[in-house]
Structures are given as C-alpha cells and as structure tokens.
Amino acid sequence: MHLNAHGLSVLVLDSGEHAVPTIVSLLGDGASVTLRTDALCAALEDLVRRGRLRWASDQVDESTFDLVIRRVPSPVAATPPSGAGRVTLVGAGPGDPGLVTVAGREALETADVVVADRLAPWEAIAWAPPGVEVVDVSKIPFGRSTSQDEINRILVDHARRGRHVVRLKGGDSYVFGRGFEEIQACAAAGVPTRVIPGVTSSVAAPELAGVPVTHRGLVQGFTVVSGHVPPGHPDSTVDYAALARSGTTLVVLMGVRTLPAITEALLEAGLDGATPCALVADASLPSQRAVRTTLAKAADDAATAGIGAPAVAVIGHVAALER
C-alpha cells in the first residue's frame, strides 16, 4: 500500500506487523505520522523511540489530521509452498529501499516468509508476493528484543516447512550483523542457505554525508569497529591505543552510548583532540542528520545535537573534507 503523502499529517489506527511497511513508506514520503493504538510491535516501538513516529495511546481528534488510515489490508494467506525450504540472508543496506541490491529484491519477490530486523527497509517487503508472512525480530538497544537463538529457531522452523525464508537485515549481514551465526544454525539443521551481500553502513553512512573513508594523499585505509561495549570492558577486544597510532580512518558502528568512553580512550592514547570527526544518524533516510566536530568535542556535540542510534562515527582527517 503506497500513498503520496508528502507534507500530510496522517493518523494510522492499525499497528500490526503487516502495517509497518505502509507506515515506513509514509515516513519516507515526508508525512507526519501518528499511530493510535494500545500496543506496539517491536519495529514500531523502535520508530517511536527514534522520534520518527508519534504514538498516542489515548483517543485523538481525527478531524485534526489530513488523512486517517483505519486499517492496512492484511496479507491473504499464500498457497502452501511445495519442495525443499531454504533461507536467504539479504543485506538490505542502511535504510533506503533504493539501496537494496537487485539480487536482494529478487529474493524478496520469491519469499514465503520475511524475517526482518528493525533497521531493515520495511518498505521493501512490499516487493514480496501477496500473502507473505512477516516476522518482526527487531532488537531495540537496551529494550525489547528477540534472542539470537529464537531467530535461528524461526529460520529453521519455517524452512523445514518447505518455505523460502528471507532474512532481511540492515547493512551487510556479515558486518556486526550476526549473519554467519544464522548460516551456521541453518547448516547444523541441514537447511540450504544463500547470502546476498548488502551495502554496509560503515561506508555508506559517511559517503551519504559527504565524507569519504579514504582519500588519495591523505589516508590509505580505514578501520571499522563495534562500539557496542566500551574500551576496557571485559568483552571488548579492540586495541584503541593501536587504533590511535594507525593513521587510518576510524569508523565506529553502534557507538552512540559509548562514544564518550571511546573518544577518551583515543585521546589518552595520544590521538590529537583536534582530529576531525563526523557523526551521521539515520543515514539514507529522510531523517538523516550529520554533525561535523572534533575528537575532543564529539561526545558533547553528539549529546547537544541529540544524535541517537543508529549512528556512525567517523574519526580522521577525511571528516574535514568538503565537496
């Protein structure tokens, strides 16, 4: 279901998983969307937390909206599949459905089941056949989430019923996406798999904000790290002192919450506080924002600007380049 809703205020009264692609499409068109419902699925809860979607749990005045959508049509049950089941991992890029690869779209067009992450472009599910089953396995940072073991079980269970299961993931499945864990789980269960690479946000987010991760004569490499746990944490295997000496561009994914600790570790390791830094949130989406700053000021500037996840930090001289 697609509507040209640019600039409209839209009230949606349907909050099922089947409604997520329509709601995300409305947001992509530039509509101001309010959801009136008693409960939210995980993907919609994430949009609310990120400030992209308004949620009203009480009654609202419908007359104040340009458009009211009372019900998003539910998919009609598809014909039961025949033959052997399989799982296709689709890396779906940073968020804009236009950045899904041709192979990724073709996989969706033959899907019986789509198992989607919160950062996947949900509008792309509209490419799937009528009657496709959509399973929301969003993992909200420090909030509601589906365990990896449960996701693995869902993939295997549906495939064993003869279905083509598309695992739709943000970015690239093998870059901090736990994609190989899912491939291993399927292999252990005897389920055939295919992996379709995606556009990784570690390169796409800086690029969309006008920042190259390499530049001739300036930097000859880039390093991508996860900031999920801070420096010094028992689970962290990142040598920040070595990164500070590397002379490469540093790209930090999943590091909004730990950015103060990461910048402090780099400064203590001798990286100049004046080193340019760029922070890019919601890359490729209409809500994309970028902040140019320095290593010493990055944490404070991110907080002042209200930069929240998902965001990418780029640390290095390339962050000062202008077109």
**Model pLDDT for residues 96-126, shown as the tens digit of each residue:** 999 999 999 999 999 999 999 999 999 999 9
Task: Supply angle C-alpha 75, 78, 81, rounded to 5.
Answer: 150
| pTM above threshold 0.75 | yes
Q: Any catalytic annotation for residue 117? A: yes
How do strand 249-253 and strand 311-315 relate by DSSP bridges? antiparallel
Instruction: Please tell me the predicted confidence (pLDDT) of residue 282.
Output: 96
b (16+ CB within 10 A) / e for 96-122? bbebbbeebbebbeebbbbbbbbbbbb
Catalytic entry in 29, 46, 96, 117 = 117
Q: Any catalytic annotation for residue 139? A: yes
Distance from C-alpha of 220 to C-alpha of 213, rounded to nearest angstrom: 9
Phi-psi region of 247 (alpha: psi -120 to 50; beta: other; left: phi over 0): left
Residues 6 or more apart whose CB falls under 8 angstroms from that of 10 comprise: 26, 31, 32, 33, 34, 65, 66, 67, 68, 69
How do strand 249-253 and strand 222-226 relate by DSSP bridges? parallel
Residues 6 or more apart whose CB falls under 8 angstroms from that of 196 comprise: 88, 89, 90, 91, 101, 103, 104, 107
* CATH numbers and ranges of domains, the chain: 9-69 (3.40.50.720), 86-199 (3.40.1010.10), 202-320 (3.30.950.10)
Catalytic entry in 139, 157, 239, 297 = 139
- One digit per residue, the tens of pLDDT, for the chain of length 323 reads 556 788 999 999 887 788 888 899 899 889 999 999 888 888 888 899 888 999 998 888 999 999 999 878 766 555 556 578 999 999 999 999 999 999 999 999 999 999 999 999 999 999 999 999 999 999 887 778 899 999 999 999 999 999 999 999 999 999 999 999 999 999 999 999 999 999 999 999 999 999 999 999 999 999 999 999 999 999 999 999 999 999 999 999 999 999 999 999 999 999 999 999 999 999 999 999 999 999 999 999 999 999 999 999 999 999 999 98
- Give residue 316's identity as a one-letter amino acid code: G
**Model pLDDT for residues 212-222, shown as the tens digit of each residue:** 999 999 999 99
Distance from C-alpha of 187 to C-alpha of 130, rounded to nearest angstrom: 29
